[in-house]
Amino acid sequence: MMTRRALLAAALPPAKLNEAVKPLTDAVAAGELRAAVLRVTQGDGVYEKAFGAATPASPFLIASITKPMTAAAVMTLVEAGKLDLDARAADRLLGLDPRITLRQMLTHTSGLPDMLPENIDLRKRNAPLREWANLSMKTPLLFAPGEKVSYQSMGILLAATMAELVSSQSMPKLLEQRIYGPLGMKDTFLGLGRYRIEDTVQNQTEFADPVGEKSWDWNSQYWRTLAAPWGGAHSTAADITKLLRYFMKPGPGPLKPETAKLMVTAQNAQYGLGWRLTPGQFGHGGSTGTMCWAHPGKDVTFVLLTSLPARVSQKTILDPVSKAVQAALLG
């Protein structure tokens, strides 16, 4: 009887499989990449491989793959009638531009910036998350809400802030109870959770943008425990696969099937609610060097977690591996 891993390996021509993992093996051999995990599923088949210092179960700081997780927790409160996608967010967040809605925050059309002008100063001072939120409510908009699409982490932060206000729970607790628990994502936490920093894969911060000091870079106690709802989750390739498969085929879970489907339905040319969309696929990437996507039509999921920041690994590792897997499985 074939193992789950053999099922997918048998479906992949050896040359295609070698092409998919070659950028990873080459980068490790050259000393450019310290750690990575690739996990691909198709139907019941699973292919999983760790590279460098990682094991298949290694937890990574997943950066912006956190965004659709946060959006999912927010949507549980929309379902409960505690939040309204199209009501004025300023009714909950006093001082925010009254034109902004929760939907715009989750679809990158709010006009809020990706990062605040005070970004570096906040990190250097190890500022609490509430200070980030307070400044986000007052920061000048880049454009009128709804006018265009512009990627914005601060919109996700304020959506999370609204969720905390109406639920009287922290976002880490909301995610644990409403998303991670129901989906069996036992190794995923917003913030460090049960992990020690040394239990997690360390980012190659010398390639980060911006390159930070050890008191506030991606490997610091400050950043790993900040629990930034736009990018502060730790997770494994297996747990992210569970998230993708749930949204690919919504069934019993944290959201009503119609809500889960709405989240992966185009709200504009680039995004659903929290998820980034491309033809036939939904997914997200992260600046720490992470990428995930699902193709419902082909029943395929892809997760690649690396230690090498995306500003370097996007062109040399993330995109080439993703494209090779797409060529092999999506035809």
* Average pLDDT along the chain, 331 residues, taken 10 residues at a time: 45 62 96 97 90 98 98 98 98 96 98 97 97 97 98 98 98 98 98 97 93 93 98 98 97 96 98 98 98 97 98 97 93 79
CATH code, domain with 115: 3.40.710.10
Structural domains of the chain, count:
1
pLDDT score of 318: 98
Which residues in 262-293 are b (16+ Cβ under 10 Å) and which e? bbbeebeebbbbbbbbeeebbbbbbbbbbbbb
pLDDT score of 17: 64
Q: For residue 226, what are the contacts with CB-CB under 8 A and spacing of at least 6?
A: 129, 191, 232
pLDDT score of 18: 73
Question: E strands of 203-295, at which residues?
Answer: 233-235, 276-278, 281-286, 290-295
Domain span at 114: 4-329
C-alpha span between 279 and 153 (Å, rounded): 23
pLDDT score of 16: 64
C-alpha span between 104 and 108 (Å, rounded): 6
> From the CB of residue 140, how many other CB atoms can be counted at a distance below 10 Å?
9
pLDDT score of 8: 52
